[in-house]
Every structure is written in structure tokens, then in C-alpha cells.
Amino acid sequence: MQGKPAEFSTLTSEFVFVMLCSMGQLLFALFLGDVVVNQVTFLEIMKINPANTPWVVGSFLLPSGITVIVFGSLADLTNPKWLMVASFGWLTIWNLVGVFAATPSLSILFFIVRAMQGLSIGAMQSTALSLLGRVYSPGIRKTRVFSTMSAMTPVGFCIGCLQGGALSSHPDWIFGSNSIVCGLCCALTVWALPSMTASDSTVSLKDFDLLGATFAVLGCGLVIFGLTQGVPSDWSPYTYCLIIVGVLCFGIFYFIERRATRPLVDNRLWTTPGFVPLAASYFLGYGAYVGGWMFYAVRFFLTIQRQTPLTVALYMIPNVISGVIGTWVVTKTLHVFPGHWVLAFGMIAFAMGPVFFLPQTSTTIYWAFAMPGITLVTLGPDLSFAAASIFITSSVPKSFQGSAGSLLMTIQNIAAAIMTAVSDSIGKQASSSTGYELDLDALRAIWWFSLGASLLGVIICVTVLRIPRSEEKDHVS
């Protein structure tokens, strides 16, 4: 087994390093949970048009998906420590601004704060993957580190729900407490995170693929904005135009990357056997989890069963238990079984959410379906993120760790944003009610969609995807 990396003098310093790098995943889920559990509360407090409900999540996911792909490459070309410090500092400032945003007259500021949170989280996630990818070569130690990072998603979501539920009558303090946490993390990062030079001494910031980054940002932004704005605008022609132009930008981005001196993502990744089906299955599974099940499972508790935000937060406690179990399973299996089987079981876990929620009614007790569904579905992000991130970062050179890992984060965030928008469209078509109070038939239609997407991910993993067992080795050259 690999020993402690040379960058750390003690196991304690290594532990602090891993925890700081994992904060991107934890805060991503925390900022999602503390608002999702209060999705009805914020709409009522700030008098937001119920048709704009998808933007409660979309305003956070859109900039996060955009910045991830850009900052992954920047982290590989610079000292990533100061990108992490800047990200925590930016979060501290904008969460402080958010304290004053939860009022009817400043509802636009609320969405701006959510966007600024997403920008920082995207930068933090991709920078963390650059740091971890440089320090850890493929092997058991890397598997344990990345599994710990993936466990932060369910843990962070549960913490966010509990925080949001406890502070639902004081929404300004949701942002205030987040600002305090981010400020402490910023100070700790300055002290505890090691400085690193560029991952390749022959490159510098002048090698950054600015043209490719421009079209990547335009593509992500236009597609997600068009889809998310579809329902609020009754699918006006401009939403279709935005989506079409966004897809064209992705096509231009592809051709730019093929000819770039140093592309945002190593071109070898696109031709790596198994990458395309892995990306497709991960998109389907993670998108079905966040955008097709989780957001609307919380809405079911809030609007169909009429539970309080704090009660809904307590319902999510099994997330933590499943997160720890999932982490342990990955560390014990990824070096024993081929990675595509681990990913396939992750896709099956994603399907368990809608499977257990489809039979529910307004009077179904929590312990009958909701508790086992929440417990099982949480294994999905743990198993799938660990298997996918280890495969992707182990398939490119050390100098491309951040950009390769950021591609996975981009897929993750875009999938969540797109699936939320698509699910909202399905729900509006199937619902006979108005506003954000989708009826049970609408929620079931969304969960059937989520189940279908997850099962399609399972089929891809089993039939066409092949990922070898993780082995001890050096980075590819």
C-alpha cells in the first residue's frame, strides 16, 4: 500500500489537507440542502413568482457548472492554494451579503448571492481535484481519499437540511452561519494548505486556453439558462434559441480543443476507452438523483404531507449513515471488482429513491417508504463519484489533474441543473394544480422520469462500460 505523501510531515496535516479539499463537496451539498428544505419558505418570504421555483436551485448550479471547467485548468497552471483561499474568501463575503437578501424588496439579490455561491463552489471543487490528483498517485490511498471526498455530499446535504430547518424562521442567519464557517475555512486554508508550483514547469498562465474556456462558458450558460427558464416563460421561442446556440457553442468548443496547444481537458481523455459511456451514465444517474428525485422528494414532504422544514431535515439524517457506509464499501471494493460494477451499483442506488417514493401518499408514514428510500439512494453519489473520479484522474497526466476532475464536476452540476428543469417541465404538464404546489400525480410523473434515467444509466454501465480494477501505479505520462 502507498505510504504518506512527501508533502505532509504528519498524518494530522494530511487529514487537514483532505478535509479542506473535501469542503467543496460538503459546501456544495450544504448550500443546496439549506435552501432546498426552505424552497417554499423563501418563495413565501420574498414573494417570488412560484413559476421561478427552479431558479432556487438553478441560480446556484448554473454558475457552478460554468466555473468548474475553467478553474480546473487554471489550478493546473498556477499555485492552487491561493485559488482555494480566494474561493473561501469570496464565499465569506457573499454569504454575508446574503444576510440582507432574504426580504421581498431584495429578491433579485437573493438569486445573485446564490449565483456567487455557485461560482465559488465550482472553483473550489475543481481546484481541490487538482490538489488531490497531484498529491496522490493511483492506488488504495487515493481511493480512500476520493471516497472520503464523495461522502461529503450526503453528509453536507444532511447538515444543510438541518441548518436550514432549524433556521427556517430566521433565513438571514442561514447565510450568516455559512459566512462564519467559510471565514474559518479561509483562515485555516492559508495556514494548513501547502503551496505548490504549476503541475508542469514548462507551462504557465499564458498557456491557458482562453478561447476554449469562452465557448465552454457560453455553451454551459446558454443551455442551462434556456432549460431552466423554459417553464417560467411557457417555453417562449427565445428559450429554444438559447439552447440551440448553446449546443452550437459546445460543438465549436470541441473543435477548438482538438487544435489547442494546451486544451482545457487533455484530449486523450476523450479517446480513453470507457470515458464516453461513463460520462453518459454519470450524467443520467446524478441528474436523476438531484434534479429528478431529491428536489421533488423534499417538495413532497413540504407540500403534500405538510411537514415543517425542520421535520424534513430530520428525515434526511439517514444520509449521513449511508454516506459513511458507502465510503467504506468503495474503499473495500474498488481494488477487488472492476470499476464499472461499482458504478452500476451506484446507478441502482440512484433508482431506489423513486422506487420507494412512487407508492407514497399524503398519509404514508415516514418509516414505511421514505426512510429506506433515502437510506439506499444516498449510496448512489458515494459509489458513482468515487468510481468515476478515480478513473478519470488516473487516465490523464499529473499536469491535467484539475482539468480532468473538473470535467466530472461539470457533468455533475450541468446534469443536476438540466434534470431539475426537465423535471419541472414534466411536473407542470402532469399537474392539475397551480404554482409550486405540484400535486401527487405530477410528482409521480417526475419520479418515473428519474427512475427511467437511473435505469438507463445501469444499462449503459452493464452493457458497454468497462473500467478496470484500480491498481497501484504512477500517473500516466
pLDDT by residue, tens only, the chain of 477 residues: 567 787 788 888 889 999 999 998 899 999 999 988 988 888 888 777 766 777 777 788 878 877 877 887 788 788 888 899 999 999 999 999 998 887 767 778 888 899 899 889 988 988 888 888 778 877 778 878 888 887 888 889 999 999 999 998 888 899 999 999 999 999 999 988 888 776 556 666 787 888 888 998 888 888 878 877 776 777 788 988 998 999 999 899 888 888 888 887 777 777 777 888 888 999 999 999 988 898 899 999 998 999 999 999 999 999 888 888 887 887 777 777 777 888 899 999 999 999 999 999 999 999 999 999 999 998 888 888 877 877 776 666 655 656 666 777 778 878 887 888 788 888 888 877 655 567 899 999 999 999 999 999 999 988 988 877 665 444 555
Residues paired with 250 in a beta bridge: none
Q: What is the DSSP string of 17-38?
A: HHHHHHHHHHHHHHHHHHHHTT
pTM value is 0.84
Report the alpha-carbon distance of residue 123 to residue 244 in Å, rounded: 27
What cell numbers appear for 451 in the block? 427512475
* Of 75, 53, 73, 409, the residue nearest 231 (C-alpha): 53
Q: What is the DSSP letter of 470?
A: P
Superfamily of domain 11-195+262-463: MFS general substrate transporter like domains (1.20.1250.20)
What cell numbers appear for 113 in the block? 448571492
| CB-based contacts of 27, cutoff 8 Å, min separation 6 | 91, 121, 124, 156, 182
Report the alpha-carbon distance of residue 198 to residue 80 in Å, rounded: 8
pLDDT of residue 472: 47
Taking the alpha carbons of 336, 339, 342, 345 in that order, is the dihedral positive or negative? negative
Q: What is the DSSP letter of 397?
A: B
Report the alpha-carbon distance of residue 354 to residue 99 in Å, rounded: 35
* Of 327, 291, 214, 193, the residue nearest 260 (C-alpha): 214
What are the angstrom distances between the C-alpha of 130 and each of 71, 84, 368?
10, 11, 43
**80 in helix, strand or coil?**
helix
Long-range CB pairs of 372-376 (<8 Å, 24+ gap) are 373/297, 374/297, 374/315, 374/316, 374/318, 374/319, 374/322, 375/318, 375/321, 375/322, 376/322, 376/349, 376/352
